[in-house]
Amino acid sequence: MPGIDPLAFIIISAAFGTLCAFVLFVLGSGFLRDIKGLAHWGAACITMATAAFLFALRGIVPVLFSSFLPNLLVAVGVVTMHASLTEYGGFKRKTKLLFLILGAAALALAWFTFVQDNYRARVITMSSTLTVLFTACALLIFRLKEKGFAERFTGLAFLATSVVMLARCTAAFLQNSRVRPDTDTSLVHSVYMGTFAFSLVALSLGFMLMVSRAMHMKLEFLATRDQMTGVYRRDAFLALLDQTIAQSRLKRRPMSVLIIDLDNFKEVNDRHGHLTGDQVIIDFSSKVQQLLRRGDAIGRYGGEEFLVLLPDTTQDDAYSVADRIRAMAAEVWSKEVPAYTVSIGVAPLVADYPDSATLIDAADKALYAAKKAGKNHVMLACSQSYGITPS
Ligand SMILES: Nc1nc2c(ncn2[C@@H]2O[C@H](COP(=O)(O)OP(=O)(O)OP(=O)(O)O)[C@@H](O)[C@H]2O)c(=O)[nH]1
């Protein structure tokens, strides 16, 4: 298709790439420092923008700088994006295969540029390499645990780019072998160059959306979590409890609450010191977190007092969970943490305890009974059906 100048695409992508890299570096050195992979993504944009500027110098500088080097830089840019996504998602780095692909592409490109000048072979080499690299990036995105609009957008942008690269590769196989870079105005080539420009912008935009979502989630986590243990803070837990009670009543599903208090904690502090006391609290909360199901929640109610929310759980099942927590707390997992025990009160959502205040109060009374019974006990609140039962 005549009239579409690949050079215009190239220059636009170079300018966009530089701007995107600038924004990412500014974000990465500022308040988004906690988000992993920003620096690598910025570096990828710079690499690709440099490639685009070099492409634009075709005919002005030697082929080494206007063809071989920029083609290689584009591939390096995508590998750097892959490294960024690996860091961002906290995945294990598996770079050997990508470097092998990169090395093989560099050798083939060098051969078809300097030894046997073959434009079609260069296009096939580059487009097949980029198809693999862009697909590898898309696969990484689809492996992310939390996927929202931003992740889907970026993943699809990677996939769309790799489809265009594949189309370019296929077209090159069918193309007249006498076509040269300066005479190649085919539709596929124009789309290929346009995609290079557009994907750099779309991918960076997608990545920035992903970063802003990650930051939002982190801020939400920090606002609702207890700093020492990482479990819900009291106010956030109570809000979650109210929400779960409303849902359980609406769906007529059972739910239960546990209130847990570490036994003789003053003595633990007095005997081992406050720091060791803190370690006991951290040890306990991590044990409970390992034991709970997805959908359950634990919150720190007071100093050494915790609340556990068990949706879809009858009083009987809540009792079993509580007793497992009690038994697990008594296990010594680390030499740095002295042995300790807990007492637990269990209360189900029933007509007598219809809201968070009455439910917690009922669980608290059962906890008091557990303490009175000699501690290291689980007690039930629902006296109508179960009575105050020692473990
Ligand atoms: N190390 C540490 N101690 C805490 C923290 N929060 C509360 N405490 C201490 O926990 C102790 C609670 O003591 P008490 O309320 O008398 O209860 P207890 O000694 O556990 O006795 P029982 O509840 O009857 O088993 C107090 O000494 C608090 O100072 C904390 O974050 N870290």
pLDDT above 80: residue 222: yes
Residue 387, pLDDT score: 36
Residue 368 CB less than 6 A away from ligand 1: no
Closest residue to atom 4 of ligand 1, CA basis = 303
Dihedral sign from CA coordinates of 23, 24, 29, 31 = positive
State ipTM: 0.95
The mean pLDDT value for 301-316 works out to: 95
Q: What is the pLDDT of residues 121-163, one digit of tens each?
A: 999 999 999 999 999 999 999 999 888 899 999 999 999 999 9
pLDDT above 50: residue 1: no
Residue 304 CB less than 6 A away from ligand 1: yes
Give the separation between CA 193 and CA 334, rounded to whole angstroms.
59
The mean pLDDT value for 206-231 works out to: 89
Q: How far is the CA of 273 from the centre of ligand 1 (A)?
A: 12
Residue 358 CB less than 6 A away from ligand 1: no
Residue 303 CB less than 6 A away from ligand 1: yes
Q: Report the Cα–Cα distance between both ends of the chain, in Å, rounded.
A: 81
pLDDT above 80: residue 86: yes
Residue 386, pLDDT score: 39
Those residues whose C-beta lies under 8 Å from the C-beta of residue 271, and which sit 6 or more positions away, are 338
Closest residue to atom 6 of ligand 1, CA basis = 303
* 3-state SS track over the chain: CCCCCHHHHHHHHHHHHHHHHHHHHHHHHCCCCCCCCHHHHHHHHHHHHHHHHHHHCECCECHHHHHHHHHHHHHHHHHHHHHHHHHHHCCCCCCHHHHHHHHHHHHHHHHHHHHCCCHHHHHHHHHHHHHHHHHHHHHHHHCCCCCCHHHHHHHHHHHHHHHHHHHHHHHHHHCCCCCCHHHCCCHHHHHHHHHHHHHHHHHHHHHHHHHHHHHHHHHHHHHHECCCCCCECHHHHHHHHHHHHHHHHHHCCCEEEEEEEECCHHHHHHHHCHHHHHHHHHHHHHHHHHHCCECEEEEECCCCEEEEEEECCCHHHHHHHHHHHHHHHHCCCCCCCCCCCEEEEEEECECCECCHHHHHHHHHHHHHHHHHCCCCCEEECCCCCCCCCCC
Are the C-beta atoms of residues 306 and 300 closer than 8 Å to each other? yes
The residue ranking higher by pLDDT, 255 or 219, is: 255
Residue 248, pLDDT score: 93
Quickly state the pLDDT bin for 309 (edges 50, 70, 90): very high
Mean pLDDT for all residues in the chain: 87
Give the separation between CA 147 and CA 89, rounded to whole angstroms.
11
Q: How far is the CA of 324 from the centre of ligand 1 (A)?
A: 22
Residue 185, pLDDT score: 61
Low-confidence winner among 38-47, 221-230, 318-327, 377-386 (lowest mean pLDDT): 377-386
pLDDT above 60: residue 385: no
Q: How far is the CA of 264 from the centre of ligand 1 (A)?
A: 7
pLDDT above 80: residue 188: no
Quickly state the pLDDT bin for 31 (edges 50, 70, 90): low
Dihedral sign from CA coordinates of 61, 66, 67, 69 = positive
Residue 388, pLDDT score: 37
Nearest alpha-carbon partner for 127 in 192, 202, 46: 192
Low-confidence winner among 99-103, 186-190, 353-357, 362-366 (lowest mean pLDDT): 186-190
Residue 211, pLDDT score: 85
pLDDT above 90: residue 72: yes
The mean pLDDT value for 310-314 works out to: 95
Name the pTM for this structure.
Answer: 0.68
Residue 274 CB less than 6 A away from ligand 1: yes
Percent of all residues in the chain with a pLDDT value above 90, rounded to a whole number: 59
pLDDT above 50: residue 391: no
Q: What is the pLDDT of residues 110-124, one digit of tens each?
A: 999 999 988 889 999
Quickly state the pLDDT bin for 306 (edges 50, 70, 90): very high
Q: Among 12-21, 196-205, 340-349, which range has the highest average pLDDT?
A: 340-349
Quickly state the pLDDT bin for 384 (edges 50, 70, 90): very low
Give the separation between CA 253 and CA 255, rounded to whole angstroms.
7
